[in-house]
Amino acid sequence: MAADLKPQFVARAEKQARVAEPAVTHFEMNRRERLAARSGENVREKQARLSEQAVTHFEKNRRQWIASRYGKLLRQEAPGPELKPAGMGEDRAGRLMRAATHLVERKQTLRLDRIRSAGERLASGRTSNQIGR
């Protein structure tokens, strides 16, 4: 059937079909698709920038966060059973301060891990609902 058509008609029909196809505009793409469309280098730059911001924010607020966590631990701490031999003292304030410091630093580690994993997902083009196997 295509042999019966003139070449000019076929060319014009193909051109009109290409124009008629709806092109996906920038606004129709969702946010994750736009981010995935960016090059991996931009994603790595953004990941490095966000990690640096998180570290500087942590260093700026570290003492305040530890003090806040220490206050929470003091309020919720109830006297527990004595597990130490008689005559041996317990440094409750020191123990709670170490616990508060550990909890704040652990939260920072989790924050940096979330930034790293989000950067890896964006660089690979995966979205959050896709299984990365």
| Measured distance CA(111)–CA(120) in Å, rounded | 14
Torsion of CA 23, 125, 108, 54, to 10 degrees: -50
Residue type, 21: E
| Measured distance CA(112)–CA(50) in Å, rounded | 9
The model's pTM is 0.54
56-102 pLDDT, tens digit per residue, is: 999 999 999 999 999 998 888 766 666 777 777 777 888 889 999 99
Q: Specify the higher pLDDT residue, 41 or 56.
A: 56
Contacts of 124 (CB under 8 A, 6+ apart): 132
